[in-house]
Amino acid sequence: MKLFFISRIESFRHAIHGWHYVLRTQRNMWIHSSIAAVVFIVGLWLNIPPRDWAVIILTAALVFSAEFLNTSIEVTVDLASPDTHPLAKIGKDVGAAAVLVAALAAILIGLLLLGPPLLQKLTTLFTVR
């Protein structure tokens, strides 16, 4: 049983190293992280319901996961094909497309969930009484 727990701790350690690598090396991850932070702050300010939080958290996780997988694809392709190769480019481009699809979906979901309450709150704040 002790070995089981030690191996789980090691798995978490490897995952954290992977997360750190992506944050350290991928500029787009900083963009995703910054936008996610703003979305979370706005969600708190708007006091959105739990169901909306669930969708926003899942959406952010989708974008982060896509970026992690894309980075994994890129470094693996670089390892397997250090020279420029058309198939290597396609592999990298398709990985990048996955991140783009996830990010565009996240934008639409954010607008659908946060747009109406944000517009209402801003209208209330800036309406002259």
Higher pLDDT, 1 or 18: 18
Check residues 99 and 3 and name the one with the higher pLDDT. Answer: 99
Q: What is the pLDDT of residue 125?
A: 87
Whether residue 129 is predicted with pLDDT greater than 90 in this model: the reply is no
Residue 22's φ and ψ, nearest 5 degrees, are: -65, -45
Residue 106 has pLDDT above 90, yes or no: yes
pLDDT confidence of residue 110? 97
What is residue 1's predicted lDDT score, i.e. its pLDDT?
80
Catalytic residue status for 67: yes
**Identified catalytic residue from 39, 60, 64, 67:** 67
CATH 2.60.40.1180 fits 28-126, yes or no: no
Domain ranges of the chain: 28-126
Cβ-based neighbours of 113, under 8 Å, separated by 6 or more: 48, 52, 55, 56
Closest CA to 47 of 114, 110, 101: 114
Measured between alpha carbons, how far is 91 from 89 in angstroms, rounded to an integer? 5
According to the model, what pLDDT value does residue 86 have?
95
What pLDDT, in 10s, does the model give residues 24-81?
999 999 999 999 999 999 999 999 999 999 999 999 999 999 999 999 999 999 999 9
